[in-house]
Amino acid sequence: MLMGFSLISVTYGAIHCNILAMQVKYDETDIKLHLMELICIMIWRCLEITSRVVILVLFIGALKLKSMPLIIVSFLISLLIPWVEFLINGAHLPKNINQIVSPMGRILILIVITALNAAINLFCWSGVKLQLSSEKLIDKKHIITHRILHYGIRLIENVIMVLMFKFSGEKSLLNCCDSLIATHLITVYLLSMGFMLLFYHYLYPGWSDDSSLEEIEMRRIPI
C-alpha cells in the first residue's frame, strides 16, 4: 500500500513538472490539459517511473555495493551537465535568485537546485532543462534533442543494469525467471517512451513552435 501511494505521489509530481515546463514556455498562458492529454501523460509517467524504480531496486538488491559506482556516475553526470554548459558558455550567475544573498550564497542555491534536478532525473525525466545563466533558471526552448538524449541514455543504462542483474546478480533474488523479468522491464520502459512521443507529437498544447497563443487557447479545454 505504501509503495502504491509513493508511486501515485511521484507520478503526480512528474505530471506537475510537465505542466511547469509548458507554463514556463508560454508565460502568459494558464495551461490546462484535455482529458486525453492527462490520461496519456499519466500512463507515460506511471510506466516510466515504475519500470525505472524496479530496475534500480533489482540492480542494487542483486549487486549490492557493486552497483554503487554506476549509480553515482549516473547521478554525477546529471549534476554536472548544467555546470559544464555554464562554464563552456562563459555565462554569469543570475542576479535575481535572491538579491540579499552573497555570490557564494547564490552558488549554494544553484548547487541545491542542480542536485534536486539530478535526483529527479535519476528516476524520471524532470520535464525541464536547467540553464544556470538564465534568471528563471529554466530553458524555454524545449529542444526535442534534449528529450531524445535523456531517454536514449536512460534506455542504454537500463539495459546495462538489467543485463548485470540477470548475469551477475543473485539468481535467488525473486525466485522466478530473470529473463522474463528483464524483458518485461525493458518493454515497459519502451512503452513509456512511446506514450511520451505520442503526447509530444499529437497531444502537447501548442506542440508546434509556430503556434500562436490564440491557437493554443483554442486547443485547451479545461477538465
Range 197-208 average pLDDT: 74
The pLDDT of residue 223: 34
Evaluate whether 111 touches 150 at the Cβ level (below 8 Å): no
Render pLDDT for 153-190 as a digit per residue (tens, 0 to 9).
999 999 999 888 887 755 545 556 678 888 899 999 99
Grade residue 215 by pLDDT with cuts at 50, 70 and 90: very low
CA 172 – CA 73 distance, rounded (Å): 28
The pLDDT of residue 209: 43
pTM for the full model?
0.79
What is the chain's mean pLDDT, rounded?
A: 79
Cell matching residue 181: 523479468
Three-class HEC string of the chain: CHHHHHHHHHHHHHHHHHHHHHHHHCCCCCCCCCHHHHHHHHHHHHHHHHHHHHHHHHHHHHHHHHHHHHHHHHHHHHHHHHHHHHHHCCCCCCCCCCCCCCHHHHHHHHHHHHHHHHHHHHHCCCCCCECCCCCCCECCCCCHHHHHHHHHHHHHHHHHHHHHHHHHCCCCCCCCCHHHHHHHHHHHHHHHHHHHHHHHHHHCCCCCCCCCHHHHHHHCCCC
Nearest C-alpha neighbor of 47 from the set 76, 22, 82, 11: 11
- Residue with the bigger pLDDT between 137 and 159: it is 159
Cell matching residue 49: 517511473
- Name the most confidently modeled range: 24-28, 119-123, 126-130, 215-219: 119-123
Domain positions in the chain are 2-219
CA 205 – CA 18 distance, rounded (Å): 11
The pLDDT of residue 220: 43
